[in-house]
Amino acid sequence: MINRRNFIAQGWSALLIALQTWRPRKAAAEVDYFTGTEYVGKTRAGRYRDFYINYWKTMRRIDAERWTLQVGGLCEQPGSFRLEDLRALPQKTQTSRLKCVECWSAKAQWTGFHFSELERRVKPLPNATGALFHCGDEYLEFADLKSLRHPRSLFAYEMDGEPLTDEHGFPLRLVVPFKYGYKNPKAILKVEFVEEAQPGTWSRIGPYSTDGTILPGHDHPLDRGKIRRRIFGGEIRD
């Protein structure tokens, strides 16, 4: 028969053994489901641990030979542009950081062209206030003309000296470093000039503003070990 004293002693022995043999469980590793397939989607595995990939929906990789950027809506000269047409525009390179509402950020060097180069070719009408971006993953986002005309805004087709990967928005993405990542659409198929501001995909389904300007708060930069730091709103200048 086990008396009360023996029962307690055995209980403590079992607890000590459990504490000595316990090891913290590692978080489940991210799985890359898309490398080597004809699809691309959200991932944080492999090299993308240093610059997370978010997509609205899993999408088929874009064929560079068949892709064209369609530009229309409220403009005088709607048109279609091949990637080589866009690469022929005056080039601009800048280093900037993408800041996500999930509180991480990552930095890259981007190469592309400024909105003014596109604007002078298609000539938005006076009643156009901005543009809707239609993307390969069915993502939709709005950018006002003031933001597009900002000197730090850029249509990018290269990242860190290489053509954009499918994961990072091939063949064309918008980089607006003073706006949260959801205002930086990628895998762009069409630019549609419109009269009124409209909420984009994330603004319609979540607590995200149509404006999307980065607010004061905190950041966990992936390239700095996610060490928390204070930010003061607007573009994060390193």
pTM above 0.95, yes or no: no
Asked if omega into 124 is within 30° of 0 (cis), the reply is no
Rg (CA), the chain: 24
Residue 225, domain CATH: 3.90.420.10
Whole-number Cα distances in Å, 68 to 11, 103, 114, 115, 158: 71, 33, 18, 17, 17
Domain count for the chain, please give it: 1
Q: What percent of the chain has pLDDT over 90?
A: 82
Render pLDDT for 185-236 as a digit per residue (tens, 0 to 9). 999 999 999 999 999 999 998 889 999 999 999 999 999 999 999 999 999 9
DSSP tag of 24 = P
Render pLDDT for 24-81 as a digit per residue (tens, 0 to 9). 444 455 777 788 899 999 999 988 999 999 999 999 999 999 999 999 999 999 999 9
Q: Is residue 237 part of a domain?
A: no
Identify the H or E element spanning 71.
strand 69-73
Q: Is residue 21 part of a domain?
A: no
Which residue, among 101, 224, 67, 86, has the nearest Cα to 158 in the 3D structure?
Answer: 86
Q: Is residue 1 part of a domain?
A: no
Q: Is residue 75 part of a domain?
A: yes
Q: Is residue 139 part of a domain?
A: yes
Q: Is residue 69 part of a domain?
A: yes
Mapping DSSP to helix (H, G, I), strand (E, B) and coil, where does residue 1 land? coil
Q: Which domain holds residue 76?
A: 34-232
- Looking at 107-173, list the stretches that DSSP marks H as alpha helix, in order from N- to C-terminal side: 115-122, 145-149
